[in-house]
Amino acid sequence: MALGAAAISDAEAPLLDDTVEGSIDFKGRPVSRSKSGGWKSASFIIGVEVAERFAYYGISSNLISYLTGPLGQSTATAAENVNVWSGTASLLPLLGGFLADSFLGRYRMIIVASVLYILGLGCLSLSALIYSFDSSDSPPQLQIVLFFFSLYIVALAQGGHKPCVQAFGADQFDEQHPEECKAKSSFFNWWYFSFCAGVMVTLAVLNYIQDNLSWGLGFGIPCIVMCLALIVFLLGTNAYRFRLHSDERNPFLRISRVFVRAARNWQTTTSVISMEAENQGILPYEGFQQYKFLNKALVAPNGSKQVGEVCSITDIEEAKAFLRLVPIWATCLVYALVFSQSSTLFTKQGVTMDRYITPTFQIPAATLQSVISLSIVIFIPVYDRILVPIARAISGKPSGISMLQRIGTGIFLSSLSMVIAALVERKRLQTAIQYGLVDMPKATVPMSVWWLTPQYLLFGVSDVFTMVGLQEFFYDQVPSELRSIGLALYLSIFGIGSFISSFLISVIEKATGGPGRDSWFSNNLNRAHLDYFYWLLAGLMVPLRSADEAYPERLDILSTIEDLDKQEGDYDEFELLDSPYCESGRGNKVLVNVDAFGAVGDGVSDDTQAFVNAWKEACSTPKSVLLVPEERRYLVNATRFKGPCADKIVVQIDGTIVAPDDPKNWDPKNPRVWLGFYNLSRAVFQGNGVIDGSGSKWWAASCKRNKSNALTIGSSSAVRVKGLTIQNSQQMNFVITRSDSVRVTGVKVSAPEDSPNTDGIHITESTNVVLQNCKIGTGDDCISIVNGSSTIKMNNIYCGPGHGISIGSLGKNNSTGIVEMIELDTAFLRGTTNGLRIKTWQGGSGYVRSVRYQNVRMEDVSNPIIIDQFYCDSPKNCKNQTSAVAISQIMYLNISGTSRTQKAIKFACSDTVPCTDIILNNVDLQSKNGTVETYCNSASGFYFGYVHPSAECLSSSDKDMTISQEKEAEVTESSREYLVHTEL
């Protein structure tokens, strides 16, 4: 059995385009996409799962009837035994998942578990045969011992089989291939559909055999089915794909090591941790403070300097990711408590009711559990083919609704099923009283068993939401190497839930029973009160639903961005009187009209001096409004409007301000600036007017020196810009420089796609800047953020055409560049040459850190996600240098769209100053023509949730790796030119 990687010759290797990266076959060879994996191999595994569920539910579904029948146990004792066994069976997958992920592998674990299944089921059949040959009233001790021994062998087998077979099935789909990725998104739905079909057959056929023919035969058939399942599984061996993992360390031990190291350093102080984090270049973020006791694993014990004595930040974040699952795991325990009733108390209810379909045919009570499976089989196609597309159209999410929304919906439906169960049980008790059957426990209550159908039906629908949602959540939220453990955690919910159910029943039995009193779980169900128990469970589900809604689905570890919305109240809205020529405003505002100072507004006459004089008047007058009237064009030359002004000046631009269209007419005293406003505080620029830079002749000129920026806000604070249109600038359209607390809302910026260097909004040396509801299309960056800028928040941005949204360039001519605390939330980019870009020159210093991009959609973008530390905007190749601007703590959350190029994600980072702590969550980038891939050079971090193309190269030890293609050659001096990028 060669499951490790093996060296092969070129002749033996499949063609590259058909090779599945990151997977091998049974003999350790690269696998061909056309000959392995996908639904072809998954069908073998699904078939095995159907057989295993047939066998398992063939035992569990009717177990309470066997315990209260042939073994003669009371209802409460039997229910407790069933819950303890079910709980153990659901906890053992933790052991099975650990053994599979750490030692045996999923394939071998499935084989071992199948053999244990056959052994346990065979012994179980033998124990039932002992009963059939024994004529005594009480079962022999040998039968009881053999029965429970066999029962727990089956539980052990289920513990090894269940977590591995589902994860192994999901492994058959390549996340980096568009078609297989789509197939994988439906895998969990159809997986649950198939296994419920098997369960439905079990409940319809096997329970009848057990109740009416023979328990020995009823236990023997599952044994035969598991023998056939093992054969089917082995037949598919040559078609299976086996995952390779980039990290050779045992994944479970890697995470466990974090807890051990943290425990050994329990006395380490916060200051020591902070110092060590700073030494390693780890900067504070919200996730760093969460479960901060694990951060002690960063520190070497007893002052040791050995690298192996400390844990990496990636390992620590993986450990924290597991801890973040605990709230969901804990809140779902009550759901598991409810789940356990469907195979115990629901069944006992049915035993007392009229189960005759015809005068001569009576269905087993446990068979009614098939209604759950039937509702699942019917509803999953409805959910997958109808509800998901509708939800997807509304939410824009590939899955329609989030995993936690799906889980929460199922929890709500299961609580309704408990309410229905309580009402039906109350009806059954009233019927028993009405017909005088209270003291006749074995009499049939004249009430059809089909009254139980609604609670079973609703419970099945809730399963489609909660069970499948939990499976997907716990598979999705753990590292790929630990997905067996992840699914085992999901199963352990039902294990602990069963133990809680057993404990709760025991406590209630003692509390409500006693001399002269019938407990809620009396052997005489006509005197019991299962309805009270159902109401209790329904009540427990209410806080569970609330807790589930409160749990944050996104693990935002970079939420250090300051809340800037508090600035909104600093500004007063102002509306002008109807006449644009009035010289006094409404209330206490003073209106200063540029026309009153000699402005002509014909677009030909020079109105520069009129604007200067009007500005001086407005600036010196408290609460003034400088008006540029509508339906007029004012030709204004380069001018610097300076403050400070008296108080709260408003510049109301309703007309059009145009620049001289010929470079020859430009004032040489004011290069680089056309309309510049400086040293202002609490100023407002608003209106529906246009600032037109008349840049066409400048763009065509061979000499591009001293081109002016259209609008500049400099050395100012608490400035608001709202509703303006800025277009056709000679160079940058809108510059914010050396300013603080600037809010830009509803601004439109436009310039032709081929206009050079016409950045839309350019931010430099500024802090606390908010850009929201802006539409930008230019010949350069839609938004550019450069040195000295921090706490920049962008929301609801449209970009295109242009070069995307950029941080940089930084570090040119060996300079220092610093940018931090940047957030982009909700943006749409169309047809841009870059998407989300960070660009730095070689040889610089400083850092870019704490950047979060979230909720971004890109359409036909050439480089959707790119970090480029080899930026070179020069006709000549740039010299290779070892120093670089450090880039860290960059998060991409909910990013989707289409890429025009194959490398949809590119992290081209410096070998000497690598990019660190890059985090991706819920990224889905596709290509209309072929596949997409991720390129990494000296980039580290981690990803979780759905990420396409895969970002496994972030955690790889290889300095230069492209995922989903063959590895790039080692970067040498001659090949380094590949990493030097020029402006697009």
Question: Among this protein's residues, is 981 annotated catalytic?
Answer: no
Write the DSSP symbol of residue 437.
Answer: -
CA dihedral sign, ordered 257, 260, 263, 264: negative
- Rounded to 5 degrees, φ, ψ at 382 are -65, -45
Residue with tokens 């466990």: 256
H-helix segments, 438-573: 453-476, 483-512, 530-550
| Residues 79, 340 contacting (CB under 8 angstroms) | no
Structural tokens at position 859: 């359409």
* Pairing verdict, β 748-750 and 767-777: parallel
Dist CA 137 CA 142 (whole Å)? 15
- Closest listed residue to residue 575, CA positions, set 684, 657, 713, 712: 684
H-helix segments, 514-631: 530-550, 608-620
| Residues 390, 400 contacting (CB under 8 angstroms) | yes
- Closest listed residue to residue 594, CA positions, set 651, 648, 539, 545: 651
Structural tokens at position 601: 């507004």
| Residues 233, 26 contacting (CB under 8 angstroms) | no
Angle in degrees, 0-180, between the axes of helices 178-201 and 370-382, rounded to the nearest 10: 160
- Closest listed residue to residue 915, CA positions, set 878, 866, 980: 866
- Residue 491: is it exposed, middle or buried by C-beta count within 10 angstroms (0-12/13-18/19+)? buried
Q: Of 529, 803, 948, 981, which residue is the catalytic one?
A: 803
* Pairing verdict, β 19-24 and 242-243: antiparallel
- Any residues with CB less than 8 A from the CB of 757 and at least 6 apart, and which? 704, 707, 731, 732, 779, 780
- Any residues with CB less than 8 A from the CB of 639 and at least 6 apart, and which? 608, 611, 612, 670, 674, 675, 676
Taking each continuous run of H as one helix and of E as one strand, the counts in the chain are: 23, 38
| Residue 479: cis peptide before it, omega within 30 degrees of 0 | no
Structural tokens at position 169: 């099935």
HSE-up (13 A, CA, CB side) for residue 285: 25
> Of all residues in the chain, what percent are helix, strand and coil, respectively (each to 5)?
45, 25, 30
Write the DSSP symbol of residue 303.
Answer: G
Dist CA 643 CA 713 (whole Å)? 11
| Residues 759, 777 contacting (CB under 8 angstroms) | no
Structural tokens at position 904: 């949809």
β partners of residue 820: 790, 849
Dist CA 270 CA 693 (whole Å)? 55
- Closest listed residue to residue 211, CA positions, set 349, 58, 345: 58
Dist CA 412 CA 565 (whole Å)? 35
- Residue 141: is it exposed, middle or buried by C-beta count within 10 angstroms (0-12/13-18/19+)? exposed
What DSSP string describes 152-206?
Answer: HHHHHHHHHHHHHHHHHHHTTS-TTSHHHHHHHHHHHHHHHHHHHHHHHHIIIII
Dist CA 907 CA 913 (whole Å)? 13
Write the DSSP symbol of residue 72.
Answer: -
Residues annotated as part of the active site: 803
